[in-house]
Structure 1
Amino acid sequence: MIQDSSKFLSAFQMNVGFGKTNNITEVMPTNFTLGIPGYTCGDAFLVSPTRSSPDGRRWVQTLETWNVTCMYSQFRASPSPKCCVSLSAFYNSTIVPCPKCSCGCQGLPGAKCLKSGEKSPHLLELPRVRENEEVPPLVTCSQHMCPIRVHWHVKQSYKEYWRVKITITNHNFVKNYSSWSLVVQHPNLRSVTQLFSFNYHPLNAYGNINDTGMFWGIKSYNDMLLASGQSGNAQSEMLLHKDPGIFTFREGWTFPRRISFNGDECVMPPPDEYPTLPNSATTSRPSSVFFSFLILVFVF
């Protein structure tokens, strides 16, 4: 709703019995469902009657009020993940790819992909699905087989700041992602100084702990992530302040803890594969030993 509140609305009305008569017994509703994949609802329970003001002048108290809690589960919404994360840094030539088979494996049942050079199918050639049902993704053949890949690149280091480049790539040939959103968890997000091509809003989910933020595209510029192709990516750079006492390039600290795309958590590489700093100790030791050997040869 932060992106564009005019595009999000949730409301419903439920009539139980006949409100004009008093000789009825209200029956607590059961088997609640939202009809949206991934959501499950618990049993309703009775709470204190609520009041409402239909005309803004008088208050009307309800006969009974029930409370129902619904929760979202990514595993119920989709049998496999929908995105993955790759990492790189200016201080290491290694590019850590998305983990193998993050969203599926080539050759397994249900895994469909297009190899390099193959022509993508026309929309009319795709299999028919039920109304409100999502078309199964048709992705580029890759090691990860994910429709969406998010790349986090630690680009540059300054005296008091450091720069990150975020690239979102759509590998799905049959879907454009409109009004997409990206949620990132990183301890240095509390010190975001400047963002160049995305919108940003902090999400203070745990009181004063500001380590999570939401990114989304700029309207009519990159808020539409087009299907796989030359225009199937969106990217931005971010400048962050180096917070004294916590900032470090060691132990993979500069990489995100979690990333979610459109509400689905992305598969991260294992921490032991993160790009590491060059080990200066191992590179300097052989040279000192060689220098000592030259001195010994010269003396004797």
Structure 2
Amino acid sequence: MRFVMSVLYFLVFFSYAAAYDPLDPNGNITIKWDIMSWTPDGYVAVVTMNNFQMYRHIMSPGWTLGWTWAKKEVIWSMVGAQTTEQGDCSKFKGNVPHCCKKNPTVVDLLPGVPYNQQFQNCCKGGVVSSWGQDPTSSVSSFQVSIGLAGTSNKTVKLPKNFTLLGPGPGYTCGPAKIVPPTNFLTPDRHGKTQALMTWNVTCTYSQFLARKHPSCCVSFSSFSNETFPPCPSCPCGCENKTKCTKSDSKLLSVVGVNTPRKDNTPLVQCTSHVPGSVHWHVKLNYKDYWRVKVAITNFNYRMNYTLWTLVAQHPNLNNVTQVFSFDYKPLVPYESINDTGMFYGMKFYNDLLMEAGPFGNVQSEVLMQKDQNTFTFKQGWAFPRKVYFNGDECMLPPPDTYPFLPNSAYQKIFGISTVIYSMLFLLIGLW
């Protein structure tokens, strides 16, 4: 008995730890189900998906939401979304439901659908921004009319076994829980109305469940040592069924080769990197400031990263002076520590990281002010402690391979500059 209890405790603890993100401890996706009106055999509800994760978003091809009905419910109609299958509706004559499956699967509509099929915060192809990146775009919703469901709070049964894919695995959803009814503004926005019944479902993300191997890695270099160790992983992010492709391969000219596969199998450029690579280069060292160049490269020919995010943890991110071609937002997981920041692409400029090739790269520079009491180049201090790309933690190189950085580098740079300027003045004088 004691052994069984120990095993259960371990499983519960492990599953919780796998989903816990220390840089975003309160991050989750909350699905809210609001019953707005009763119908002769059921109800009309608004289903809203709120992404409260600071830097993890749902990119193309978008979210997929599923559940299991508690009774024999059917979906009469939907606005702003659709099910992937109708199921067996043969027992219905005349007015046929939109979906009769016991476990329906729902997807968002694409942009540009007719106006009468649209609903607020819908029709974005399932793409949902992270809360930290753009709160106004971190919501997705649709309206659904349910039949054979009961017509009161006492006869309606909550759906079970909610699942969320976005666009791959990784999310685990808890049971639906009845919560206080949601308040809404009236159409004229001068009054309030209330849902007849509301329940919530909370879904959390686990990188362990999402994939067996890291999807990105980090490499380091510096102005004093341009060479850097390769990403600490097998070539091409290789797995048992994955093969890498040379950049001049004839395969890349085949029509449809860039189309994502249902099993998310990557087509990766042959390098020492996994599908995504982040490079942190200590570029310049001034007396009171220092500059870092950050580059992100996509080596997957089948993946475009929409609304990408890059999170770094470094003690000097509390003194960021300027970020040149990325947007930047500090993240404060703990009130007393401000060492984590999120970089992301500027809208309509570089927020789409294209597939491998000439456009599969985005980069920026970061200028940080030194705190003379803590700043040092010794023992790898200039390199980040953790790096996340698109919400997944990247592999860092082993500490013993970090590039060497002289602690008095700015003095050397100043000396070289002085010599160069002296020679220029001398040449001008001779001329």
TM-score bracket, normalised by the shorter chain, equals: 0.7 to 0.9
Answer yes or no: is the 8 Å Cα contact 1:16–1:26 preserved in 2: no
Deviation at 1:23, TM superposition (A): 8.1
Deviation at 1:275, TM superposition (A): 2.1
- What does 1:18-167 correspond to in 2, within 5 Å? 22=152, 24-36=154-166, 37-55=169-187, 56-92=189-225, 94-101=227-234, 104-105=237-238, 108-115=239-246, 117-122=248-253, 124-126=255-257, 133=262, 135-144=264-273, 146-167=274-295
| Residues 66/226 of structure 1: CA separation in 2 closer, same or farther (3 Å cut) | closer
Determine the C-alpha separation between the residues in 1 that align with 2:198 and 2:137. Answer: 29
Q: Structure 1 residue runs of 4+, over 6 Å off? A: 14-20, 127-130
Determine the C-alpha separation between the residues in 2 that align with 1:34 and 1:58. Answer: 34
The residue aligned with 2:46 is none
Deviation at 1:171, TM superposition (A): 1.3
Answer yes or no: is the 8 Å Cα contact 2:237–2:268 preserved in 1: no
Q: CA offsets per residue over residues 23-59 of structure 1, 9 Å max, x none?
A: 8423233212224322110122344444444444554
Deviation at 1:210, TM superposition (A): 1.9
Secondary structure of the residue aligned to 1:68 is strand
Determine the C-alpha separation between the residues in 1 that align with 2:266 and 2:200. Answer: 37
Deviation at 1:191, TM superposition (A): 0.5
| Residues 59/229 of structure 1: CA separation in 2 closer, same or farther (3 Å cut) | closer
Secondary structure of the residue aligned to 1:190 is helix
- Structure 1 residue corresponding to 2:329, chosen from 190, 201, 209: 201
% identical aligned pairs: 54
Determine the C-alpha separation between the residues in 2 that align with 1:225 and 1:243. Answer: 34
Matched to 2:285, the amino acid is S
| Residues 19/68 of structure 1: CA separation in 2 closer, same or farther (3 Å cut) | same
| Residues 230/14 of structure 1: CA separation in 2 closer, same or farther (3 Å cut) | closer
- Structure 2 residue corresponding to 1:172, chosen from 284, 300, 308: 300
| More RCO (CA 8 Å, sep 6+) | 1
Determine the C-alpha separation between the residues in 2 that align with 1:268 and 1:123. Answer: 35
The residue aligned with 1:288 is none
Determine the C-alpha separation between the residues in 2 that align with 1:44 and 1:238. Answer: 44
The residue aligned with 2:399 is 271
Answer yes or no: is the 8 Å Cα contact 1:182–1:261 preserved in 2: yes
| Residues 127/88 of structure 1: CA separation in 2 closer, same or farther (3 Å cut) | closer
Deviation at 1:101, TM superposition (A): 2.0
| Residues 19/178 of structure 1: CA separation in 2 closer, same or farther (3 Å cut) | closer
Matched to 1:149, the amino acid is S
Determine the C-alpha separation between the residues in 2 that align with 1:190 and 1:9. Answer: 30
Moved more, 210-219 or 242-251: 210-219
Answer yes or no: is the 8 Å Cα contact 2:294–2:365 preserved in 1: yes
Identify unmatched segments of 5+ residues in structure 1.
Answer: 281-300
Q: CA offsets per residue over residues 276-296 of structure 1, 9 Å max, x none?
A: 34699xxxxxxxxxxxxxxxx
Matched to 1:91, the amino acid is S
The residue aligned with 1:224 is 352
| Residues 20/244 of structure 1: CA separation in 2 closer, same or farther (3 Å cut) | same
The two structures, once aligned, show a CA RMSD in angstroms of 3.2
Answer yes or no: is the 8 Å Cα contact 2:289–2:368 preserved in 1: yes
Determine the C-alpha separation between the residues in 1 that align with 2:176 and 2:292. Answer: 46
What is the total number of aligned residue pairs between the two structures?
A: 275
| Residues 129/89 of structure 1: CA separation in 2 closer, same or farther (3 Å cut) | closer
- Structure 2 residue corresponding to 1:259, chosen from 370, 387, 398: 387
Answer yes or no: is the 8 Å Cα contact 1:203–1:214 preserved in 2: yes
Q: CA offsets per residue over residues 230-279 of structure 1, 9 Å max, x none?
A: 33212111110011322111111111111122222211112232223469
Secondary structure of the residue aligned to 1:28 is coil
Matched to 1:137, the amino acid is P
Determine the C-alpha separation between the residues in 2 that align with 1:167 and 1:129. Answer: 24
